[in-house]
Amino acid sequence: MVMELQQYFTDVLIIGAGLAGLSAAVEAAGAGKRVMIACKGRVGRSGNTVITQNNMAVVWDALRTNDSIEGHIEDTLIGGGHLNDPDLVQVLAAEAAESIGWLMEHGVRFQRDKEDLLIKGSPGHTRFRIIRAVGVTKSNRTLGLALSVPLAEKAEALGAEFLERILIVSLLVEEGRVCGAIGLDRNKAGLSLICAGSVIIAGGGAGGLFQLSTNVPDVCGDSYALGYQAGAAVRDLEFIQFHPAVTVSTPRLVFSTSPFADGAVFRNRHGEAYMKRYSPQGDMATRDIMARANFKEIAEDRGTEGGGVIADFSAVPAEVMTRNYPDICGALQGSTMIEVAPAQHFMNGGIAMDSECRSSIPGLWVCGEAAGGLHGANRLAGNALTEAAVFGRRAGRLAANGCKQSRSVWSVSLIENYLKERYGRWADLGISADLTPTNSWSELKQELKQCMSLYAGVVRTEKGLGKAKGNLLSISDRLTNWPFKSYGDLLRYCELKMMLLAANLIINACLKRPVSMGSHYRED
């Protein structure tokens, strides 16, 4: 098969088009640089940002909330078991308010309390510092469009180019510096070569590696695989946050933990409010403790028939529920209780970055959930979207300043040889240009998800992690010999190769930390 080659040149290439990537794009384009955003779906309308609950942590009005930047720093460090990079935590807390103001300037609206922002509490935060974006949709599943759409429109107005429906399969590295990327077109059989002066990875986390996750399905570890494959260091990948309160019934909804600051409690099927057995903070414990408690209640047969526990909102005043949590009210449909269970939610680790968003390899910057170092062993609610805005903006500015343009000439054969080094079986001769896969790849993908959910889930053991290593090796061996006849097969082959690499990085990180800490819980 002869694949069409599209070649692009830009100053800054951004991989990922959620809040972090779009913040980077607006800043880099605003600095006068040519910017290209590459993503698997549509810019501003795909990825995890779209389905977030829009909660952001910020010291907005210190006098009104009796808060301080130092308090935000301390809470974040305590929540992360002091494994956080303190320089990153300082940047997050100090620049959060400026970034919220920047979002407002670009059309993002937030919940109001009369003339000021509505500020709420959340477990792990010792002061009320959670605000929430509102806006462009009535669906609880696409609330994040309130963040992504205004920034996508701004980036486009500033001249950023959108390269949509592209699966980035490798970064380009020349003389030890990242200088672009190679992608596969998801609409037709074709290669995209993007030469860039600097590259930013903002492609999110790895929820797609697990059976039950709050993430969109195609966020499946690409960021970590691409960075590691290029030579970038990764860190803290054993620390995976499992959200304690995801509805058991479909459509699955992620409930904010903020109502627990207003009186909500978890109950088992016997009606017992059990959180005090797991933490002195009770229902104000951090999410990792909540998730383990819920997991234990279910595993020890105190859960509901539906395989969950009960989130009970009856103690929260009705006017508070209506004003602060309209999405939860909608899901409750007049009730005050609903079944929930833990689900993979957020990767606390990722590609290691410094306070200037640089990875360990020149030419590569990173931001958002793709990055590691800020959260340490556990993330506090609201810090993720604030991180995306604060460090997305930083990455955009600094990558724009650090451009070193490369205009190497790459032929199709040279690209294919380059990819063969990374993927082994590349485009076997004779495959068709058909986008439809000729064989079912779901079998291997489901085995991988089952393996990760079973052995790298809420509770881990050395024995289980060893089994995971063996299972992933078996899947890899079978993938090497899996039938491979069409371009659609090639797309899925590359996706699974990156998933396997990311999964192995996570399992190795879990094995290297034999003690329990934060969101990494070793039962042994």
Residue 351 near residue 366 (C-beta atoms within 8 A): yes
Catalytic annotation, pick one of 287, 379, 460, 492: 287
Closest-CA residue to 201 (of 355, 349, 358) = 358
Task: List, run by run, the mean pLDDT of 10-residue segments along the chain (524 residues).
Answer: 82 97 98 97 93 92 86 96 97 97 96 87 90 80 91 97 96 92 92 94 96 90 97 97 87 83 94 94 86 89 91 93 87 90 94 98 98 96 96 98 76 75 65 78 92 92 96 94 84 94 98 94 88
Please name the residues in contact with 284: beta carbons below 8 A apart, sequence gap of 6 or more: 123, 260, 261
Backbone angles phi, psi at 460, to 5 degrees: -125, 160
> What are the counts of helices (DSSP H) followed by strands (DSSP E) for the chain?
14, 19
Domains belonging to the chain, first-starting first, are 4-239+348-401 (3.50.50.60), 243-343 (3.90.700.10), 431-512 (1.20.58.100)
pLDDT value at residue 426: 63
Distance CA 13, CA 10 (A): 7
Entry pTM: 0.89
Q: Hey, what's the torsion of the CAs at 126, 55, 17, 235, to 10 degrees?
A: 20
Residue 351 near residue 227 (C-beta atoms within 8 A): yes
34 is catalytic: no
Q: How far is CA 89 from CA 93, 492, 506, in A?
A: 6, 37, 23
Q: Which two tokens stand for residue 452?
A: 């990760």
pLDDT value at residue 394: 98
Distance CA 136, CA 146 (A): 5
pLDDT value at residue 306: 87
Q: Which two tokens stand for residue 347?
A: 């990767």
Closest-CA residue to 103 (of 45, 23, 28) = 23
Q: In Å, how far from its chain's centre is CA 134?
A: 21
The amino acid present at 523, given as its one-letter code, is E
Strands 35-38 and 4-15: parallel
